[in-house]
Structure 1
Amino acid sequence: MGEALHKHDVFQAIADPTRRKLLHLLGDGELPVTALSDQFPMSRTAVSKHLRILAEAGLVKDRKVGRETRYRLDAEPLRELKRWLAYFEQYWDNKLAALKLYVESDD
């Protein structure tokens, strides 16, 4: 799994709440699959499948340490998501400004 195959894009990968939690856990540093699977009410095999999707999207990297596979976050692909969302900030900012004006008005 070492090198990402990019079968899934970042948007597909983060669509699942389990995968988002995995990314959050890996944000604190490299972890073995056993430590990750302890955080979920599912089998290690199910967690491994989620990790494979994240790896295929380039969001996690893995490496073998003895018999153990350890995973780490690779946040670089999230920059694509950040750029995409940045475009829509103008709409959020406009709506928030309009809401502020409405709430602060005397009408």
Structure 2
Amino acid sequence: MSSVQDVIYNWLTIKVVCDARPDDTAAVETKKHFEEMLSEHKISNIDITTDDVMYYVTYNHEDESKKTRFPRELIEIMLNQINSEPDKYVNYPEEK
């Protein structure tokens, strides 16, 4: 079982990718997976703020307000990798 911190970290990392690449179907599907994990861990009411160095996350866990933070460098690593090598991360849209 993943820790609450791990689930929030993974969700936030893929959320940043989705926000930058809303048509990336793999990222959207992965984000949905982590949103399900957030729900399973009873995490709700997530609010994210940033500054030049950190992402600050406030959330409710089992009806208790909590806070955590992550360095931008860690959260944005996946997006930076995609942006630096776009040929490796081609989007394959869903067939309709």
Instruction: Give me the TM-score of the superposition, normalised by structure 1.
Output: 0.30
Q: RCO greater where, 1 or 2, for CA within 8 Å and sep 6 or more?
A: 1
- Whose helix proportion is higher, 1 or 2? 1
- Whose strand proportion is higher, 1 or 2? 2
Of structures 1 and 2, the larger Rg is shown by 1
